Amino acid sequence: MALRTLASKKTLSLALGGGARPLAAAAAARGVATTVSLPDLPYDFGALEPAISGEIMRLHHQKHHATYVANYNKALEQLDAAVSKGDASAVVQLQGAIKFNGGGHVNHSIFWKNLKPISEGGGEPPHGKLGWAIDEHFGSFEALVKKMNAEGAALQGSGWVWLALDKEAKKLSVETTPNQDPLVTKGASFVPLLGIDVWEHAYYLQVISFCWN
């Protein structure tokens, strides 16, 4: 449903070469990363209606993304304490929480920037270098939408579908990651151009509304 909503509205309009900013570099000598903060949206919650309702955007940003930020920062504080104590078991135990919540923050920070209101040029198919690259590697924009929809539907459980630039192969590709794994887990050469959230929290309220109506 999320893929159909986003792709059918042709929100694949991100310039070639975009991507996520890396998390801040380690601030302490022992190498523990600094905490992160919830980014502001570059548009109002209701600016993407009717494609995505304002209620979903508010909940997605203010609750779900905010929770990833809070839990990531908490895990970093615990990691700092564990490193200071030399507690190797605690350090290992915290890696899952850091990956999941840190990935959730990275992925959603990309996701918000992928979306743009129609009044600001959103909803238009990509042009220029990105449009040419899509035609070259997928045949057409419509073929890319179809492939991303298929990959999202086939994803077991929750996760993400990505339009990526493979810097080593010098081509575009469609990739999937489970849960909140960021695209970098598929390889350092992949640059995320577009991330589509296949988690239910990205669309479930709108599905319920559609079914009720």
Known binding-site residues for Mn(2+) equal 60, 108, 197, 201
Residue ranges for the binding site? 60, 108, 197, 201
* Residue among 182, 187, 197, 204 at smallest CA distance from 72: 182
SS (H, E, C) 28-83: CCCCCCCCCCCCCCCCCHHHHCCCCCHHHHHHHHHHHHHHHHHHHHHHHHHHHHHH
CA distances from 155 to 33, 100, 162, 196 (A): 31, 17, 12, 12
Please tell me what DSSP assigns to residue 23. Answer: P
CA torsion sign for 143, 149, 152, 153 is: negative
* Number of other residues whose CB lies within 10 A of the CB of residue 108: 26
